[in-house]
Amino acid sequence: MATVIEKDRTAALKNFSADPNEPTWLSELRREAFLEFSERGYPTVRQEDWKYTNVAPVIAGLTVGFGRNGHGALKAPSPDERRLLEQFNFQRNGFTAENLSRGDFVSIVIEGEKGEPFELNSHVDDGSAIFPHHLITVKSGATATLIETYTSSASSFTNAAVQIVVEDNARLTHYRVQKESADAFHYGVNEVTLGRDATYNSTNINLGGRLSRHDIEVKFTDEGGEAWVDGLYMLNGTQHADTHSIIDHRVPNCTSHQTYKGVLNDKSRAVFNGKVFVRSNAHGTDAQQQNKNLLLSNEARVDTKPQLEIFNDDVKCSHGATVGQLEEEELFYLLTRGLPETLARNLLTYGFAEEIINKIGVEKIKAELDNAVLHRLATVL
């Protein structure tokens, strides 16, 4: 059962409960978000950013108990954590409002050089809903790797948020792996800000979910920042995956790279919408963006829209999108080496996906994804 949307504020507030363990300002913030969610509900296809992704039937079809809370208190949040939470754009859509109102908060503050990756695993059981909200602060000069993994069993609902601050001269490598069940609903948002000479290198893998939507927003707030915002969606059956990304060059001399790849089989469907903004003062920007899609079936479909909005002349920007099938010459080459056609096609598809997976520097995660991709292709290497 989906959450009942109450148009009446007073009635809605009956469903909200403050947490005695949290500071008043947080209760207030969550309450505000709760009201926002109660008024707006989930997004509909009438909204431009959601026109290809209709969440209503999928959410209505879930047999999930939402409960009243799903909320985990953030005990004694620091001023930095408070600032971060107050900056969260919960008005982005109904999901972000719902997430903040119920957020199960986890905060990690990273200092110095961390060799071992931080792992945040969010698992949701059949018939349940979760609202993880991660706050990640990489302090000045620190270096770290973060692995976020989302898994679920059968029919489930995930509404996740991660807020990341990469401070001056800090470096974060971020792997986000969504491999929920094919019956799950998944919404996630990443809000990332980069300080001076900060580096953020992210790889976003989307394999699961009946319907998944991932919103990414990366903002440069000082000069010299560099970001990689790469991803892979690999879908089959009637899966639907939607990625909306915004890379915001608000300051001069920052660099962004974005490669998103899609592999679509059966009747699956993907949406990629990538906006790159180069503001008027952001001279010296270098922004590259590409979205490449491989359609393995005539019934699969992708709607891709890379968008560059540039308000400064002294920039180097490029973008592009492709939607296609396997290259015939590549296929012929593999056939002439004696590989049967199905294996040859699978190997080329694997290679297409591997370009993203090979970026992953944590062997355990990379091997798992290798296997997941091969499993999808019903191939053994």
Partner 1 sequence: MNSHFLWDSVAKRFMLLEVKDLHAGIDGKEILKGLNLRVRTGEVHAIMGPNGSGKSTLSKVLAGHPSYEVISGEVLYEGKNLLELEPDERAREGLFMAFQYPVEVPGVSNSQFLRLAYNEKMKHLGREELDPLEFNDYLKEKAKVVDMDPQFFKRSVNEGFSGGEKKRNEILQMAVLEPKLAILDETDSGLDIDALRIVAEGVNTLRSEDNAIVLVTHYQRLLNFIIPDQVHVLADGKIVKEGGKELAIELEEKGYDWVKSAGR
φ, ψ (nearest 5 deg) of residue 219:
-120, 130
Q: Compare residues 170 and 365 and give the one whose CB is closer to partner 1.
A: 365
Q: DSSP letter for 113, please.
A: B
Q: What totals of helices (H) and strands (E) does the chain contain, helices first? A: 8, 17
Q: How far is the CB of 329 from partner 1 (least distance, A)?
A: 6
Q: Which residue's CB is nearer to partner 1, number 75 or number 375?
A: 375
Closest contact distance (angstroms) between CB of 116 and partner 1 is: 26
- In the complex with partner 1, which residue's Cβ is closer, 7 or 337? 337
The H or E element containing residue 247 is strand 240-249
* Dihedral over alpha carbons 34, 36, 39, 42 (to 10 degrees): -90
Q: How many CA atoms lie within 13 A of 32 on its CB side?
A: 12
Smallest gap from Cβ 315 to partner 1, in A, equals 28
| The pair of three-digit structure tokens given for residue 196, joined into one six-digit string | 């001076």
Of the pair 78, 358, the CB lying nearest partner 1 is at 358
β-sheet bridge partners, residue 255: 226, 286
Closer CB to partner 1, residue 39 or residue 330? Answer: 330
Our CB check for partner 1 shows the closer of 69 and 379 to be 379
**How many other C-beta atoms are found inside a 10 Å radius of the C-beta of residue 29?**
20
State the distance between the two ends of the chain, measured CA to CA, in whole angstroms: 43
Q: Minimal distance in Å, beta carbon 325 to partner 1?
A: 14
Q: Which is nearer to partner 1, 126 or 354 (CB)?
A: 354
**Residues whose CB falls within 8 Å of the CB of residue 193, separated by 6 or more in sequence, listed in order:** 164, 165, 166, 218, 219, 220, 221
Report the residue number, 231 or 252, with the smaller CB distance to partner 1. 231
Report the nearest approach of partner 1 to the CB of residue 296 (Å): 16
State the pairing for strand pair 255-264/171-178: unpaired
Q: Token digits for 250?
A: 């608000």
Which residue lies nearer to partner 1 by CB, 115 or 338? 338
340, with CB counted inside 10 A (0-12, 13-18, 19+), is exposed
Radius of gyration of the chain measured on its C-alpha atoms? 21
Cα 320-325-331 angle, rounded to 5 deg = 125
In the complex, least distance from residue 338 CB atom to partner 1, rounded to whole angstroms: 4
Q: Report CA-CA distances (Å) from 372 to 115, 354, 358.
A: 26, 11, 14
Rounded to an integer, what distance in angstroms lies between the CA atom of residue 378 and that of residue 199? 37
Q: Kindly list the residues in this chain that would bind partner 1 in the complex (CB under 8 A).
A: 327-330, 332-341, 343-344, 347-348, 350-355, 358, 381
In whole angstroms, the minimum distance from the beta carbon of 60 to partner 1 comes to 39
Closest separation in Å from C-beta 170 to partner 1: 31
Which residues, 6 or more positions from 246, have their beta carbon under 8 angstroms from its beta carbon?
216, 217, 218, 275, 276, 277
User: Least distance in Å: CB of 208 to partner 1?
Assistant: 22
Least distance in angstroms from the C-beta of 377 to partner 1: 12
∠ CA 273-265-257, nearest 5°, is 35
Nearer Cβ to partner 1, position 26 or 295?
Answer: 295
